[in-house]
Amino acid sequence: MAELKYREALNRALFEEMRRDPLVFVMGEGIAERGGSYKVTEGLLKEFGPNRVIDTPIAEASFTGAGVGAALIGTRPVVEILFVDFTTLILDQIINQAAKYEFMSGGQGKVPMVLRTQGGAGNGLAGQHSQSLEALFYHIPGLKVVMPSTPYDALGLLKAAIRDDHPVIFIEHKLLYMTKGEVPAEEYVVSLGQADIKKPGEDVTVITYSYMTLKCLEAAHALEKEGIRAEVVDLRTLSPLDKKTLLESVSKTGRAVIVHEACKRGGVGADIAAMLMEEAYDELDGPVLRICGKNTTIPYNLELEKACVPSVAEIIAGVRTVL
Amino acid sequence: MANQSSAPKGAATGEAAVDEKILREMYRNVYATRQFELTCVTLYRQGLIRGYFHPYLGEEAIAAGACAAIGRDDYIVSTHRGHGHCISKGADLKLMMAEIVGRATGYCKGRGGSMHISSKLDNNLGANGIVGAGIPIATGAGLGIRVKGSRQVVIAFFSDGASNNGVFAESINLASVFQLPVIYMLENNHYAVSTPVECSAGDCNLANRGPAYGVPGVCIDGNDAEEVYLTTKQAVERARRGEGPTLIEAKTYRHGGHHVNDPGLYMDQEALASWKARDPVNLLRAKINDVSVKQIEAKVDAEVAEAVEFAKNSPEPSVEEFLASIADD
């Protein structure tokens, strides 16, 4: 075991996969010489050269489309979009092309492409650099959506995403890059579609993902001092959704709280809450609660920004209300 | 500004530089496309083909000429008006017709239809329902070729309408920066749906857009398969030498409206008549001996008839199997 930062874990995943498979390559804005805004691609250029570590123009739609085309002919592109906010520029290539190609071609072709990007509030970056847009991709059949919360998961899931034969939207969180965690020295992969119980408990299931996992764990530890045993389930992969783990946990606890940073309206939490109502109604002892980001554009001012995303205190208070 | 609606002059090549075998191959493809499209129009009227169908009538020489200049191993990316590309790249007419009629035996198992037809065996990466969307995909195939280190090339077919979409500018720039082996084949049929090119482009000489990105731009007569072939061949050789992309603007004219249900009343009737007088099928037929023409036409006629029978007799896709295949999603 070694302690790695989240960004270092992602970097190791890229090194390992590029060494393993010469068809894996990375492209994006400022990822080669500069090593990426968050240093995730640092050092790749030196080892793999400019043919596989490619700096692109600021032309998201075309280089994402280029990723689709390159994937169609059998290479495995890892395309980086600097901020999830900029994925608005590439939605045709993701929604109409990457997500649908395998289906519409009757299985003749596949799009083994990973789209790496990062989102979330917390750095005073205002409305166009702080969003959580995973619900857009979660909604689209044909896409997988991955949002790791720890260095261990980030490494294992990125490797799995690169090996997957389908388009994967891999969304990191800007506040996670410098967080640290234990990562084994030996190689491993974390399968897509498997949630992880980050903290077991019997009284209430707290369902979350990405950076909010850290806040939920903090809240759960605080609640434990009051004798409330919350089970924190980190989805890790939103699509495919690990319904089995969620239903088992809710069957055990009878209560569910869903926490995410993205806007509440139309968020992933709404879909999960509806699924629990449909499939675990008899197991529930009360209504499912959602604690989510406010339905607003993220403001620049740090105090205003803080007010938009769920806090530890809010999570603690919310959990108390469902018991 | 020159009147872009009038027919351009013929090929400046003069000498018979293209050998007989290539001429016959191209004629097979222009004639097969013509007959296939006319047959599709009939099937559409009979209700066997649903949805949208955008005939390639009048533009056949571009696909035939361009595809004759590349090998089976090379890639193409097609458009919503894509039957001609598919045929010229070597598709089996039976599997094509079955797909367009929506049957389980079609290339895409009846899931794609006319606008999304592809054929992996021929390295045809497929048609596209989104105007312009194939341009970055073709560019990416070029990038993939570079990553793999192979000598293949890609032809991106697209239209004057698509050339006004942002991804065209982004993609040709990308290919120029990375010197990708991509031939941008701009089929200027003078209409973006119903809007004439004069009303949608600041400079109607669309080949001029190449040099702005450091890419050679050539304007040719798209109704002359021979000229399309010779120009594409040069661009392909250039791409294989690692010298990067070429933009070819092939001027042509649709023989009808945007899709099968559009009578195209907005079209310039005088220009249409002058382009029809230079029909790509007739132009090429005149360059081949009568015996060959008859042989080719008889063979194609039989193939098209067989394709229709195959499609009609093919099963519909099973709803149960389809629902089972998506049950986990």
Name the DSSP class of A209.
Answer: -
Q: Does A86 have pLDDT greater than 50?
A: yes
Q: Does A1 have pLDDT greater than 90?
A: no
| pLDDT of amino acid B6 | 38
Burial of A22 (0-12, 13-18, 19+ CB in 10 A): middle
C-alpha B30/C-alpha A150 separation (Å) is 58
Which position among A8, A17, A29, A60 bears the catalytic label? Answer: A60
**Residue B82: how many CB atoms within 10 A of its CB?**
26
- Give me the residue spans of the domains in chain A: 2-183, 196-322
Size of interface A-B (CB pairs under 8 A): 138
The type of residue at B13 is T
CB B75 within 8 Å of CB B87: no
**What is the rounded average pLDDT for all residues in chain A?**
98
Interface test with A, best of B105, B120, B137 (most A CBs within 10 A): B137
Q: Which residue of A has its CA nearest to B114?
A: A104
Read off the tokens for B196.
């004439």
> At residue A78, what are phi and psi to the nearest 5 degrees?
-115, 105
Q: Give residue for tokens 């499209």.
A: B37
Among partner residues A57, A73, A106, which is closest to B109 by beta-carbon distance? A106
Per-residue pLDDT averaged across A293-297, rounded? 97
Cis peptide before B181 (omega within 30 of 0): no
Interface test with A, best of B89, B92, B123, B170 (most A CBs within 10 A): B170
First to last CA, chain A: 38
Per-residue pLDDT averaged across A103-111, rounded? 97
| pLDDT of amino acid B17 | 76
CB B123 within 8 Å of CB B129: no
- Give me the residue spans of the domains in chain B: 20-256+285-315
Q: Which residues lie across from A141 on neighbouring strands? A: none
| pLDDT of amino acid B3 | 36
Q: What is the pLDDT of residues A159-218, one digit of tens each?
A: 999 999 999 999 999 999 999 999 999 999 999 999 999 999 999 999 999 999 999 999
More confident residue, B3 or A7: A7
**Strand, coil or helix: what is B4?**
coil
- Its CATH architecture, for the domain B20-256+285-315, is 3-Layer(aba) Sandwich (3.40)
Per-residue pLDDT averaged across A227-254, rounded? 98
C-alpha A310/C-alpha A308 separation (Å) is 7
Do A106 and B108 make contact, defined as CB atoms within 8 angstroms?
yes
**Cα-based distances in Å from A218 to A52, A289, A317, B111, B151:** 40, 18, 13, 48, 56
The type of residue at A289 is L
C-alpha A78/C-alpha A159 separation (Å) is 11
Minimal CA–CA distance to B7: which of B195, B172, B252? B252
Domain A2-183 sits in CATH at 3.40.50.970
Burial of B163 (0-12, 13-18, 19+ CB in 10 A): buried
- Name residues of chain B where pLDDT drops below 70: 1-16, 329
Minimal CA–CA distance to A27: which of A83, A87, A86, A77? A77
- Its CATH architecture, for the domain A196-322, is 3-Layer(aba) Sandwich (3.40)
- Is residue A60 among the annotated active site residues? yes
Among partner residues B108, B146, B173, which is closest to A108 by beta-carbon distance? B108
Percent of chain A with pLDDT over 90: 100
| pLDDT of amino acid B16 | 53
Q: What is the pLDDT of residues A261-270, one digit of tens each?
A: 999 999 999 9
Minimal CA–CA distance to B217: which of B226, B225, B233, B206? B206
Percent of chain A with pLDDT over 70: 100
Per the confidence metrics, is the pTM higher than 0.90? yes
C-alpha B110/C-alpha A270 separation (Å) is 34
Number of Cα atoms under 13 Å in the Cβ half of residue B166: 11
C-alpha B57/C-alpha A250 separation (Å) is 61
- Is residue A221 among the annotated active site residues? no
Which ipTM score applies to this complex?
Answer: 0.95
Do A106 and B112 make contact, defined as CB atoms within 8 angstroms?
yes
Do B136 and A25 make contact, defined as CB atoms within 8 angstroms?
no
> At residue A258, what are phi and psi to the nearest 5 degrees?
-110, 130
Per-residue pLDDT averaged across A291-302, rounded? 97
Is A263 within 8 Å of chain B by CB? no
Minimal CA–CA distance to B122: which of B177, B167, B85? B85
